[in-house]
Amino acid sequence: MPSLAPEPRAMASPSRLARAPRPRPTPASSSVAAALLASASALPARRFLQLHAHLLRTGLLALSPSAPAFLSLAAASLPSHRALAVLDHHLTAPPSLPSTFKCNSILRALSDPADALRFLRRMRALGRRGNAFTLAILLTPRCGPAHARQLHANAVAEGHLRDALLATSLMRCYANGGDGDGARKLFDEMPVRDAVAWNVLIASCVRNRRTKDTLKLFEEMRAREGEVQPDDVTCILLLQACTTLGALDFGERVWAYAEERGYGGELKVRNSLIAMYSRCGCVEKAYCVFRKTPQKSVVSWSTMISGLAANGFGEDAISSFEEMIRSDVAPDEQTFTGVLSACSHSGLVDEGFRFFDMMCCEYRLKPNVRHYGCIVDLMGRAGLLDEAYELVTKEMRVAPDATIWRTLLGACRIHGHVDLGECVISHLIELKAQQAGDYVLLLNTYAAVGDWNKVAEVRKLMKEKGIQTTPGCTTVEHNGEVHEFIADDDAHPRKVEIYDKLNEINRHLRIAGYVPNVSSELHDLDSEGKESALTYHSEKLAIAFALLVTPQHRPIRLAKNLRVCVDCHNFTKVFSGIYKRLVIVRDRTRFHHFEGGKCSCNDYW
DNA sequence: ATAGGGTTAG
């Protein structure tokens, strides 16, 4: 580092500075300064002021390669009012009015949109109108739809809308504000649509979970091969869509495409692929890709660890974490989220607490609401319900959100803890966050202890309040087609075969000792009625269908929109043993791997 | 020389 002697008076009097003699810098020293500036993202304010003084003294600041970087650094290092003072000085003082490019660099570095707008006004007052990129920068921070519309109007007035960069920035703002149609309209009006424009549109669909549109757009894009080519980002976005959709086949097609185009080695693409495989229940394949990835980043490790955790491989997740530490990759908050969820899913209570302490003490990471969520889940599953409640109400350093309460409610359901369940519901109501699923959990809690009066009471309450429950739905992917089942479904073209198969399965399972768990049925029917209502839950229909169409050696893969109910869990467990089939069920939160009469998760009985 | 992107509890 060059010596940066402080020169406090230099800052105090800009006019004096303007008169100060400027030695001519050599090209070598100017490139050193540029490199120095480019390498630092932010400095402590005092250190920045020293650097400022030095650059002024040596005249290096007047050279164009270092000036934009310097101004960005100013914005990043100083409190905004001081940064603006520095920027002001360079805007008004000689040697010259900064170029539009310089102004854009400053704008980019201002994190507060209000500062950016003030700066823009000053810029215009000094006669710099800015270009399309200037407007695009203003769209970069998360600006709301109103702001976007305003800048949209400016762009139209100044004739910048033909600029692809500006148009795509606008599209992104509309899409993020939930206005997918607005984004689409801009896209359709673009004279030339580059890959980024397509990607922004695809990202908008992925974000709004319009997965079918996502896949359609990819097809459309590929049909215009002469005009535009999908790039690595396109592949990442598509893999993301497959992850939320659980669309394994399509995901593998995207992967093959990425390899064909030469993106297969890119770390970010590989990380998305690891996530896709994990979230589709193919954790072995995810692990295989992970192993073959040479330069694993903290994201690769975290993705793999959460993937193993979600699939019930808690011990493997923990040994991966230990391996990560040994290979000198520093874990971050997300890594610990994965590790803690591994502990909660596998019932590793002591380890969970140990990792939580490790995170706070050894790695100095501040626990966030997700970390606490895992700990609450961990304690709740282990039956430490009152302790978990204490943690949430007294010890947590962050405000509990609805999910924390819902986690605790799930634990009340597992352990039939009625009193706490009622208390938790009142917290959810207080947060105005109660959902139909929460009342169902409470209802399940009453059902677990056989309090049918209370069950009826909750049902009545739900009816009065007009709370609609989501119907349970199970899907099976077969030959690239998604088959959907709901309870007592008679819509499927092969319904007769399916019901016959299910009756046959039921007979076999009963011989093997499966007893329907009537507490899973919510309706207050007599015992026999309950049993028959249970028989045709969507999951069982889906299993019967899958048994008809999947070859013996392949796993049966189901996806559920709700949690697996206790009876279906038990049913599937016994089924996997009798029929010697691996069944992988993805529910709202994770995967259940059923094999040989057992399940990978430990909280159903 | 500037945009768009990867992991994240239940």
Domain residue spans in chain A? Answer: 367-469, 473-599
Q: Is the CB of A54 under 7 A from strand B?
A: no
3-state class of A107 per DSSP? helix
Tell me how far apart the alpha carbons of residues A329 and A587 are, in angstroms, rounded to a whole number: 32
Contact A381, A344 (CB under 8 A): yes
Residue nearest to nucleotide B6 (CA to C1'): A268
- Quick one: which H or E segment has residue A45? helix A45-58
Quote the pLDDT of residue A63. 43
CB crowding A51-71: b at 16 or more within 10 Å, else e: bbbbbbbbbbbbbebbbbbbb
- Please name the residue ranges forming H helices in A280-346: 283-291, 298-310, 314-326, 333-345
* Interatomic CA–C1' length for residue A402 and nucleotide B6, angstroms: 27
Residues 375-414 on chain A lying near strand B, CB distance under 7 A: 377, 401, 403-404, 406-407, 410
Tell me how far apart the alpha carbons of residues A43 and A72 are, in angstroms, rounded to a whole number: 11
* Interatomic CA–C1' length for residue A550 and nucleotide B3, angstroms: 45
Residue nearest to nucleotide B1 (CA to C1'): A101
Quote the pLDDT of residue A334. 96
Tell me how far apart the alpha carbons of residues A289 and A281 are, in angstroms, rounded to a whole number: 14
* Interatomic CA–C1' length for residue A137 and nucleotide B3, angstroms: 9
Q: Is the CB of A29 under 7 A from strand B?
A: no
Residues 555-594 on chain A lying near strand B, CB distance under 7 A: 588-590
Quote the pLDDT of residue A175. 85
> Side by side, which strands form the sheet with A481-486?
A481-486, A473-478, A556-560, A583-586, A591-595, A598-599
CB crowding A11-44: b at 16 or more within 10 Å, else e: beebeebeeeebeebeeebbeebbebbeeeeebe
Q: Which nucleotide is nearest to A302 (CA to C1')?
A: B7
* Interatomic CA–C1' length for residue A222 and nucleotide B2, angstroms: 27
Q: Is the CB of A99 under 7 A from strand B?
A: no
Q: Is the CB of A200 under 7 A from strand B?
A: yes
Tell me how far apart the alpha carbons of residues A212 and A210 are, in angstroms, rounded to a whole number: 6
* Interatomic CA–C1' length for residue A7 and nucleotide B6, angstroms: 45
* Interatomic CA–C1' length for residue A273 and nucleotide B7, angstroms: 11
Place of tokens 């048994």: A547
* Interatomic CA–C1' length for residue A105 and nucleotide B1, angstroms: 10
* CA atoms in the 13 A half-sphere facing the CB of A126: 20
Residue nearest to nucleotide B2 (CA to C1'): A133
Quote the pLDDT of residue A364. 95
Q: Which nucleotide is nearest to A590 (CA to C1')?
A: B10
- With a CB cutoff of 8 Å and minimum separation 6, the contacts of A288 are none
* Interatomic CA–C1' length for residue A87 and nucleotide B8, angstroms: 38
Contact A564, A539 (CB under 8 A): yes
Residues 284-313 on chain A lying near strand B, CB distance under 7 A: 297-300, 302-303, 306-307, 310
What is the CB neighbour count within 10 angstroms for residue A104? 20
* Interatomic CA–C1' length for residue A98 and nucleotide B1, angstroms: 16
- Spans in chain A with pLDDT lower than 70: 1-44, 46, 49-72, 75, 78-98, 111-113, 141-142, 480, 519-530, 602-605
3-state SS string for A200-263: HHHHHHHHCCCHHHHHHHHHHHHHCCCCCCCCHHHHHHHHHHHHHHCCHHHHHHHHHHHHHCCC
* Interatomic CA–C1' length for residue A21 and nucleotide B10, angstroms: 65
Q: Is the CB of A168 under 7 A from strand B?
A: yes
Neighbouring-strand partners of residue A559: A475, A586
Q: Which nucleotide is nearest to A165 (CA to C1')?
A: B3
Residues 501-520 on chain A lying near strand B, CB distance under 7 A: none
* CA atoms in the 13 A half-sphere facing the CB of A88: 13
Tell me how far apart the alpha carbons of residues A356 and A340 are, in angstroms, rounded to a whole number: 7
Q: Which nucleotide is nearest to A338 (CA to C1')?
A: B8
Q: Which nucleotide is nearest to A131 (CA to C1')?
A: B2
Residue nearest to nucleotide B5 (CA to C1'): A233
Which nucleotides in chain B lie closer than 7 A to a protein CB?
A: 1-10
3-state class of A591 per DSSP? strand
Contact A319, A348 (CB under 8 A): no
DSSP track, A522-561: -S---HHHHHHHHHT-HHHHHHHHHHHHS-TTSPEEEEES
- Burial class for A588, CB neighbours closer than 10 Å (0-12, 13-18, 19+): exposed
Q: Is the CB of A194 under 7 A from strand B?
A: yes
pLDDT digits (tens, 9 = 90+) for A258-277: 999 999 999 999 999 999 99
Tell me how far apart the alpha carbons of residues A268 and A266 are, in angstroms, rounded to a whole number: 6
Residue nearest to nucleotide B9 (CA to C1'): A370
Neighbouring-strand partners of residue A484: A475
* Interatomic CA–C1' length for residue A306 and nucleotide B8, angstroms: 8
Tell me how far apart the alpha carbons of residues A542 and A142 are, in angstroms, rounded to a whole number: 43
- Quick one: which H or E segment has residue A374? helix A369-381
Classify strands A598-599 and A583-586 as parallel, antiparallel or unpaired.
Answer: unpaired
* Interatomic CA–C1' length for residue A525 and nucleotide B8, angstroms: 42
Quote the pLDDT of residue A302. 97
* Interatomic CA–C1' length for residue A370 and nucleotide B7, angstroms: 14
pLDDT digits (tens, 9 = 90+) for A466-486: 888 888 889 888 886 778 898
Q: Is the CB of A538 under 7 A from strand B?
A: no
Q: Nearest-CA neighbor of A482 among A245, A299, A136, A217?
A: A245
* CA atoms in the 13 A half-sphere facing the CB of A525: 14
* Interatomic CA–C1' length for residue A488 and nucleotide B1, angstroms: 61
Contact A377, A346 (CB under 8 A): no
Residues 425-484 on chain A lying near strand B, CB distance under 7 A: none
Q: Which nucleotide is nearest to A166 (CA to C1')?
A: B3
Q: Which nucleotide is nearest to A402 (CA to C1')?
A: B10
Q: Is the CB of A332 under 7 A from strand B?
A: yes
Tell me how far apart the alpha carbons of residues A237 and A247 are, in angstroms, rounded to a whole number: 13
